[in-house]
Amino acid sequence: METKESYAVITGASQGLGKAFAENLAKKNINVILVSLPHQNLKELTEELEKNYSIKAHYYEVDLSLHDNVMKLTAWLNQSFEIHILINNAGLGGTKKFTEASSDYINTILQVNVTATSLITHQLLPNLLRQSKAYILNVSSMAAFSPIGFKTVYPASKTFIHSFSRGLHEELKDTNVFVSVVNPGAMKTNTDVCKRIEKQGFLGRLTLLNPDKVASYCIHQLFKKDSVIMVNPISWLIMKILPIWIKLPLMTQAIKREIEA
């Protein structure tokens, strides 16, 4: 693939899985555009990638929960770059009793996870279709396969991402744009996250993953044109086999332990 003058766009790129995606793509000599919230050391990461790898790197700081911001971002991308990879990684989780969640809290999760992912994909698709080969990778979650109490909105938003990705893959299968979705479990992004997941007990520990390994595997599978990437087959199997009346209370209980701890 000729990538000298084309770019990969990664949202939520400042840390965790998004940062790992950026580093893994840079290792493959693919130019990157990093998108994340302000004050996340995005400039430093961009400079580091350019210094360590023979690539071009740009960054854009933005709050994707605001519609106008998403449209300004995509307008800038389309005006400035040829894009052959889009990784929609930005997403918000959250563990809270639904009765204690504010309307802003609920709206922000939906705007980032559902609306921003859909709009960014929609606005950048003509650009992707111009390329000889192009790829879209949407980051869903193992949570897409079961509702979970005390999370409520998050699993529902990830179910949307999974369904959206599968539908778009089918719609674009005769074009040059390949669409894939990955459904990882929790990531070892920092000490706090690891401690929080540990409190969920066995189920939480079972799905805890290394971001760099996940990113590397995802990129490998994306270029192999794997439309549904499963990075943790054990937890996926459990989610598929267990009936809803077992896994729903089981997973809810694990999240409740996290809240109480």
Query: What gap in Å lies between CA 58 and CA 243, rounded to an integer?
Result: 46
Its sign, for the CA torsion 12, 14, 19, 25, is positive
Task: Give the tokens for residue 16.
Answer: 């965790």
Task: Give the tokens for residue 112.
Answer: 């980032």
Amino acid at site 171: E
Answer for the pair 186, 208: CB distance below 8 angstroms, yes or no: yes
Annotated catalytic residue: which of 53, 59, 60, 154? 154
Query: What gap in Å lies between CA 48 and CA 23, rounded to an integer?
Result: 10
Q: Does 135 participate in catalysis according to the annotation? A: no
Answer for the pair 209, 185: CB distance below 8 angstroms, yes or no: yes
> Active-site residues: which are they?
154
